[in-house]
Structure 1
Amino acid sequence: MDTVDLLLHPVRLRIVHAMSGGRTLTTSQVCALLPDVSKATVYRHVGLLADGGVLDVADEQRVRGAVERRYRLRRERAVIDADTAASVPVADHRRVFAVAMATLLAEFNAYLDREGADPTADLVGYRQHALWLSPDERAELIGEMREVLLSRMGNEPSPERTRHLLSPVLFPAEEPPTDRTEEREAPDHRAPDHEMPDPPPPGPLDPVHPKPQPPPVPGPDSEPGPAPDAHPDTEPGSGAGAARPRAAVASGRRCG
């Protein structure tokens, strides 16, 4: 069984977590750290990790006629290197992610089941943030996070320290942006002015202008008024009172 298959199991991953920090533990002690898992299951998976080279036997001692082994984690064997990760088919990432989330859920439930668990006092967090990142910014963020984590991963157990589980998850939540040149240069498919529909009738808050009234028809007793000024180049209907040409109206929808 290769390293990927060894680690792709929630119980085995939890055993690896429990053995971190240079600890040397017996299988019985590991069982105490995983109280929600049966002892038979823990013993079986400890044996698989030892056979696969992820755990080493640190020492042995005889206890009540039986040999009790203390195990130590081989950190260099408990990681999946970049080349191996890159060779995992895309379809298999669903299974890998499911195992990681199942492990995280089991660890969190075990924490909540402990007497005196206080997520507020323990500063428990499981926030999710949407970040807009370019490829360079994403690589820079990963590098910064790696530096912070590596500076703490060398910590060894002590009376002042408690083992914590940190599980960063990062992936693109949308398709990567495409070239928007065509979108910016797209032709205007709106109808020309002469094909635009008439403006809609005024709404309840729009001002209503009175319709122009026709001039009075002179009666028999009316005196003729002065003739309107006319310019020699003026076309009929082009005076001040003539109807204005209909302007094109473009309607837009406001988002939000």
Structure 2
Amino acid sequence: MRKTSPIADVVMHPVRLRIVQQLGEGRRVTTSDLRGALPDVAQATLYRHIAALVDAGIVAVVDERRVRGAVERTFALGDRMAHVDHDELREMGERELQQSFLTFLAHLGEDFDRASAGADFREFLGFGQVRLHVGTDDLSRIQAGLGELLAPYLAPQVDDGQGGASGRRTVMLSTVLMPDPADQPAPFSAS
């Protein structure tokens, strides 16, 4: 019997992906911040998705304070990474895997639509595809190298006093790694 993938089940929903995105880069946000960042999501729906993320340990409540008689919570990413790892990908059924990937693509498309309204959108846009020739051991080295390369750019930059951080903008790097369909191994046949 196939085991379900709890992180994938929880995170691979468009609203939940957007909540996790708001908590990226070590940010802490309140429920009010999330309502402001996701105005198209009904408040009850937003709270339901936040609760699911908290229950799964992907989002944590890091502070609570009273505001006009109500408790306002502040959230941050929890102990579990909001990332579907290789073990979980292996455990997904074909339909679940396809749905997760399509959800990722839909979220990427939504981000593209929202970002394209910006004046300097094309100055910070780039996309492409490249074929790499790797073994499974190579992937961990590539990931470590990318982590090292990107580390200086992960923390928000300090404001330079002129409305920006030395002309820097926050950009999103989204990656997809999949086998080249043209390079599938031939099926084994017993002779």
Q: Same fold (TM over 0.5)?
A: yes
Answer whether contact 2:89 2:97 (CA < 8 A) is retained: no
Q: 1:143 to 1:75 in 2, by over 3 A?
A: farther
Query: TM-score by structure 2 length?
Result: 0.75
Distance in 2 (CA, whole Å) between partners of 1:150 and 1:32 is: 33
Unaligned runs of 5+ in 2: 160-164
In structure 1, the partner of 2:129 is 128
Distance in 2 (CA, whole Å) between partners of 1:147 and 1:30 is: 33
Give the deviation of 1:178 after TM superposition: 4.7
Please give the residue correspondences for 1:201-240 in structure 2 after superposition, counting only pairs within 5 Å. none
> How large is the RMSD of aligned CA atoms in angstroms?
2.8
2:167 is equivalent to residue 168 of structure 1: no
> Which residue, out of 74, 81, 85, partners 2:85?
81
Q: Which moved more, 1:4-13 or 1:158-167?
A: 158-167
Give the deviation of 1:175 after TM superposition: 4.4
In structure 2, the partner of 1:8 is 12
SS at match of 2:155: coil
Distance in 1 (CA, whole Å) between partners of 2:82 and 2:125 is: 26
Q: 1:52 to 1:11 in 2, by over 3 A?
A: same
Distance in 1 (CA, whole Å) between partners of 2:146 and 2:58 is: 25
Identity among equivalent pairs (%) = 34
In structure 1, the partner of 2:110 is 106
Give the deviation of 1:45 after TM superposition: 1.2
Amino acid at match of 1:66: A
Amino acid at match of 2:114: A
Higher relative contact order (CA 8 A, sep 6+): 2
> Which residue, out of 23, 32, 47, partners 1:28?
32
> Which residue, out of 145, 148, 162, partners 2:146?
148
Alignment: residue pair count? 173
Answer whether contact 2:8 2:100 (CA < 8 A) is retained: no
In structure 1, the partner of 2:120 is 118
Query: TM-score by structure 1 length?
Result: 0.58
Amino acid at match of 1:120: R
Distance in 1 (CA, whole Å) between partners of 2:49 and 2:119 is: 27
Greater share of residues in helix: 2
Q: 1:77 to 1:141 in 2, by over 3 A?
A: closer
After superposition, give the CA deviation of every residue in 1:86-142 in whole Å (9 maximum; x if it has no partner).
2223343211111111111112222224xx442222x2112234x2x4443x86367
Distance in 2 (CA, whole Å) between partners of 1:91 and 1:150 is: 34
